[in-house]
A and B are shown apart, each in its own frame.
Chain A
Amino acid sequence: MAGGSAISGLVGARVHRKEDRKILTGTGRYVDDVQERGMLHAHFLRSTVPHARIVSIDVSKALEVEGVVRIFTGADMSAIADDLNFAQPIPGLHSPSYPAIARDVVRFVGEPVAMIVAESRYIAEDAAELIEVEYDELPPVMSTKAAMAEGAPQLFGDVVPGNIVHTDEQLFGDIEAAFAQADHIVTDTLDQHRWACNPMETRGGVATYDRGSGQLTYEASTQTTHTLRFLLAGWVRHPIHQFRVIANNIGGGFGLKFSAYREDVAVCAAAKAIGGTVKWVEDRNEHLIAAGAAREEQLTLEAAVKADGQLLGLRVTMDLDAGAYPINPPATVYTGLVRTTLPGPYRLPAYQFRHNIVATNKASYISLRGPWAVETLVRERLMDKIARTCGISPVEVRRRNLITLADQPTKMITNVTLENVTAAETFEKLVSMIDFDEVRREQEEARARGKLLGFGLGTFIEPAPGTKDFWAAVGFPFGAEPARIRIEIDGKVTVFTPQTPHGQSHETTLSQLVADELGVGFDDVRVVYGDTDATPFSMLGTGGSRAATMASGAVVYGSRELKKRVLDIASHLLEANVDDLQIVDGVISVKGAPGAQVPLAQIAMGCWLAPEQMPPGTNTELEYVASYDGEGGGFSQASHACWVEIDQETGDVEVKRFLVVEDCGKMINPAIVDGQVIGGVAMGIGGMLLEHSAYSEDGQYLSATFMDYLMPTAPEIPDIEIEHLEYESDKVIGSRGVGEGGTVLAPAALLNAIDDALAQAGGGRVTTTPVTPTRVLELLGVIEPD
């Protein structure tokens, strides 16, 4: 349906996106679209070796190339910028600081060793080829196991003893008693591979230093302008009030663009040193090699269960391969998220969680869409294994352990309040939509054709935005969300949000909410984001599926405050009781008395131009900053079912059908929710079957193009069937985030389906990802394991 104007009841409708005209006509402004007069171009020369001392670096020949303006080595950069330091007061955290450009040691293939600034990117790349770097190679450490081994090469010496960035163990309940009472002990392992965010727009930024005003402006591809600003201002030694960060169109982030990176520091420092504009846009090759990747984690699980499948206790160990350099947030946030969320929507009386965060000679471990996702993956696979051990179905084992609405409010063993959580209800709905006899018939029919049809399912909860006690358990601040709202002189509305949307459609959803609350047209609301000179501060920007609850709450409460002020004024003008007034299509009227009305624009003009003439005692300030604390927050939830067909000759896995039952509470725009769910599931499928940020044993990066790093394309993804529950709680803001869930849960349903298929042919169970055709053939015994 059209946006138009004058419609109330926009919330809940499939309103056209405000963002679409720009992106469909090619008139957006992404970082690489920025062109300034005299703009220079930066290119990074990157390390070709995984671990080495830099003996010497000779830039003399490169400097002779016509059009080269300046070359920064590590020493040059250290003279003008501080080392990046992400250390936080977290007990036991060993967080090394590091220079924007490597000074003495390189620790992964792709680490910047020099930055060339030239009149064009072509010239900068030409010059890079003429820089001579002499390395004294050191042995690389390419796995958590190798890094923690006795006598392993130390990446950071005493700064990260034993290459262990952080280690911890936490106990909840009486774990010994749980295992003493167990009828079965069920164990499982998962060795997950590295895969990456790979937004279609890579990282990049354009830094401009204005010598006259002393202002430094950085237009960047970022998910969080305010955090980028305060981190960079410190490291490039620039006063923060003279530092502005801008984000316009952002071509996807998926968690990657939540941090500040060393390239950001180098580009800003260079612009300041040169006194002009410097653009840096990473190419895909650099992005794949150097931007970092996610999900490389090894977990072992040991569950104590009763004969009937009831969970009694769970022991988990997790090793996280952090790569060489820490970024924001510290990796303890990820282990904290995994630890806290892993019990999921199930009753679990006792729990022990241990982790090691380990430094290796790889690019940084980064946040990727639901960075805690491995908790759901290992838990849902464990539930299937428990079912097999106890001789019950995957549906039954979940039913016997799931926390239903009737059990709530309650607390997870990890001290997190569960309230209005409908995982069990989404699961029952999912089960009711599946004909299990038909699944068995199809499996027989497939086997007759020489194929294996596997079926798998799973359920989970998503902290979107989570509760306050959830974030306390994780060890990360929850943070309120502000929004500034202004009714303009003509009655139109401008909303300033610290969200930095990069596909999440906040220009649309926040406009829907404000239009409904204030009784103005959808096209009469504009959402401003991404400019630290204009938007209120938030540390978080867009991430963690917070916006549906937090940004919504901020604009709803802000709108209500302004509406109160406007109606108060109108009640004097119309000589009516405030409770009898309404705003419809920008006109305030007395309900049931069609003649008595005053346009919002008239009140707005009075408030801005002649406040002294407005009714005495009224508040004529039509700009308001609201702050929303989340009303206790909450979870969204979903259950997924997946059907795969495996070709026993080729090992190919085809996802035949994928069913999602999700509940994110009140949907603001169902078409946008669908897009988030489908995109999330597709990313989960790609991550499990195709994508791999692979290193060789000697530390070379192997997936440096899209011919090696396989992204899912349209034929690999089926149409996703979606059912929405929309459980309505008593919270004013009943919407929950839905951005990450698809990617979190889909891998679990998918791997359960693959295991189901393999089991039909007597094959082994998946314990290492990705599930490539080769891996499938190995598990089927067709070929020998590598």
Chain B
Amino acid sequence: MNTREITVTVNGRRHTRTVEVRRTLADFLREDLGLTGTHLGCEHGVCGACTVIIDGVTARSCLQLAVQADGAEITTVEGVTLPDGELHPVQEALRDSHAFQCGFCTPGFVMAIYGMCEEKKAGKPVPCSRAELREELSGNICRCSGYQQIIDGAEAALAAAKEA
């Protein structure tokens, strides 16, 4: 078995593990670190359920190998929730809009919208109109909601995110 040692910081905690070089980052997060909030909906990079933030950039953890994340800082849905267990404003906005139903795609949307809010806070341009938001979120599939209430929540979350 071809393995390598990697060190990854996930949600602020450093982990050093030996992994098979073919192990996907998603499997590493879910099975090796027990962070099962990141979901696998297609494992070929279309559905977006496995979206995480790697060094400040939203990415699909099913399309990366764990070894590629060596040295990286990763945020998963578990890391978005505030340290005291309270919902992050992005999560609150999505709850308030009744955005989701079965919840399987939810972590991917939370991460994609959280990523946009972080970009806005950093002064980067973000989608403004609902049409732009729909385009921006077209890399995440939800089978339940028809997207409307997700867009409502994303709009509210972005409006609330202020440039630092």
Contact = CB atoms under 8 A, between A and B. Distances in A.
A27 B38 CA distance: 10
Q: Which of B76, B98, B106 has the most CB of A within 10 A?
A: B98
A719 B148 contact: yes
Interface stretch (B63-71, B118-126, B129-137): B129-137
Interface centre among B133, B138, B141 (most CB of A within 10 A): B141
B31 A35 contact: yes
Interface string A696-733: 00000000011100010111010110000000000000
21 contacts: A20-B94, A24-B94, A25-B87, A27-B78, A28-B103, A33-B30, A33-B36, A35-B34, A199-B143, A200-B47, A503-B101, A503-B144, A672-B98, A675-B101, A675-B146, A678-B149, A681-B146, A714-B134, A715-B134, A717-B146, A717-B147
Given A20-B95, A683-B143, A717-B146, A251 B151 contact: no
B44 interface: yes
B137 A283 contact: no
B22 interface: yes
Contact of A679 (B107, B141, B144): B144
A711 B143 contact: yes
Contact of A17 (B98, B141, B151): B98
Interface residues of A, number: 57
Contact of A23 (B41, B42, B106, B140): B106
Contacts of A254: 143
Contacts of A111: none
Contacts of B44: 284-285, 705-707
A706 B134 CA distance: 19
Interface in B26-40: 30-31, 34-40
B129 to A, nearest CB: 12
A24 B47 contact: no
B78 A25 contact: yes
Interface of A: 14, 16-17, 19-30, 32-33, 35, 122, 198-201, 249-252, 254, 283-285, 502-505, 671-672, 674-676, 678-683, 705-707, 711, 713-715, 717, 719-720, 742
B29 to A, nearest CB: 11
A719 B38 CA distance: 28
A526 B9 CA distance: 37
Interface of B, helix, strand, loop or mixed by DSSP: loop
B151 to A, nearest CB: 7
Given A26-B107, A27-B37, A199 B102 contact: yes
A713 B107 CA distance: 16
B84 to A, nearest CB: 12
B73 interface: no
Contacts of B78: 25-27
A200 B148 contact: no
Contacts of B77: 24-26
Contacts of A284: 41-44, 47
A250 B103 CA distance: 8
Interface of B: 20, 22-23, 30-31, 34-44, 46-47, 49, 76-78, 80-81, 87, 91, 94-96, 98, 100-107, 110, 130-131, 133-135, 137-151
A283 B35 CA distance: 19
B98 A675 contact: yes
A32 B98 contact: no
B76 A26 contact: yes
A680 B95 contact: no
Nearest to A254: B143
Contacts of A23: 100, 102-103, 106
Given A200-B143, A679-B145, A682-B147, 14 more contacts: A14-B98, A17-B98, A20-B94, A26-B78, A200-B105, A201-B41, A251-B39, A251-B103, A252-B143, A284-B41, A706-B141, A714-B140, A715-B135, A717-B148
Given A30-B104, A284-B42, A679-B145, A24 B87 contact: yes
A16 B97 CA distance: 9
6 nearest A-B pairs in the assembled complex, by CB-CB distance: A26-B37, A23-B103, A251-B104, A682-B146, A503-B101, A503-B102
A14 B149 CA distance: 13
A675 B144 contact: yes
Given A675-B101, A683-B143, A707 B148 contact: no
Nearest to A705: B44
Contacts of A713: 137-141, 147
A680 to B, nearest CB: 7
B20 A122 contact: yes
Contacts of B40: 32
Contacts of A672: 98
Contacts of A28: 37, 103
B103 A19 contact: yes
Contact of A706 (B42, B104, B135): B42
B36 A32 contact: yes
Contacts of B141: 200, 706, 711, 713
B100 A20 contact: yes
Nearest to A19: B103
A198 B142 CA distance: 10
A717 B130 CA distance: 12
B153 to A, nearest CB: 10
Nearest to A251: B104
Contacts of A30: 36, 39, 104
Contacts of B49: 200
Contacts of A17: 95, 98
Nearest to A200: B104
A249 B106 CA distance: 12
A720 B138 contact: no
A411 B112 CA distance: 52
A30 B107 CA distance: 13
Nearest to B145: A679
